[in-house]
């Protein structure tokens, strides 16, 4: 059984995110934004061309992929996708596999991994004609581990 050290409630300030250290286990309550990586590109292009954000990701905890039947379906995340998200103001990203991403350190952001199945309610906020979505997922409690902290330190199992 995992002992929880930290409880985070939405909204989580960037100062709190930056104090988390690699290996910290947190109990998160609140909103997670689930976004398809193609929607990340659409938001970026819209912001550049129109000067307006169709959805403000500032301060959000995000996962890239989709959510269906209480399960995340993760998409592969690249350094480029993370950089776009961090430039949009995202505070943390939930990933399904550990990789070292220097961009997280450069932006002083945190990467998480889920330690349990997700339970919550969702609301579709943005949908493209081809079915790509941006959803808000309201979680009543989700256990996450910090796999890379804002200083770039990676979590390694002991």
Domain limits at 97? 6-148
Q: What is the CATH number of the domain that holds 32?
A: 3.20.130.10
Question: Residue 155 domain-assigned?
Answer: no
Residue 154 lies in a domain: no
Q: 25-74, pLDDT tens digit by residue?
A: 999 999 999 999 999 999 999 989 998 888 999 999 999 998 887 788 89
Q: Are 144 and 113 in contact (CB under 8 A)?
A: yes
Domain annotation covers residue 42? yes
Does some domain include residue 158?
no
Sorted by sequence, the CB contacts under 8 Å of residue 45 that are 6+ apart come out as none
Tell how strand 61-68 and strand 25-35 pair up.
Answer: parallel
The pLDDT confidence band at residue 86, using thresholds 50, 70 and 90, is very high
Structure tokens at 70: 């209480």
Question: Quick one: 79 exposed, middle or buried, by C-beta within 10 A (0-12, 13-18, 19+)?
Answer: middle
- Is the predicted pLDDT of residue 6 greater than 60, yes or no? yes
Residue 74 within any structural domain of the chain: yes
Positive or negative: CA dihedral 36, 105, 146, 17: negative
Kindly give, in sequence order, each residue whose CB lies less than 8 Å from that of residue 120, ignoring residues fewer than 6 positions away. 32, 70, 137, 138, 139, 140, 142
- pLDDT, one tens digit per residue, over 89-147 is 999 999 998 889 999 999 999 999 999 988 788 899 988 888 899 999 999 889 999 99
Could you give the number of structural domains in the chain? Answer: 1
Residue 156 lies in a domain: no
Is 29 among the domain residues?
Answer: yes
Residue 3 has pLDDT above 60, yes or no: no
């Amino acid at each position: 059984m995992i002992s929880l050290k930290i409880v985070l409630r939405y909204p989580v300030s960037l100062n709190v995110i930056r104090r988390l250290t690699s290996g910290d286990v947190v109990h998160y309550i609140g909103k997670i934004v689930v976004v398809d990586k193609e929607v990340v590109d659409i938001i970026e292009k819209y912001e550049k061309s129109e000067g307006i954000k169709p959805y403000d990701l500032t301060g959000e905890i995000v996962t890239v992929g989709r959510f269906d039947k209480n399960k995340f379906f993760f998409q592969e995340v690249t350094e480029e996708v993370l950089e776009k998200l961090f430039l949009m103001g995202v505070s943390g990203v939930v990933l399904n596999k550990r990789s070292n991403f220097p961009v997280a350190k450069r932006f002083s952001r945190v990467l998480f991994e889920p330690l349990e199945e997700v339970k919550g309610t969702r609301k579709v906020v943005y949908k493209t004609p081809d079915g790509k979505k941006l959803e808000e997922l309201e979680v009543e409690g989700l256990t996450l581990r910090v796999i890379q902290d804002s200083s770039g330190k990676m979590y390694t199992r002991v």
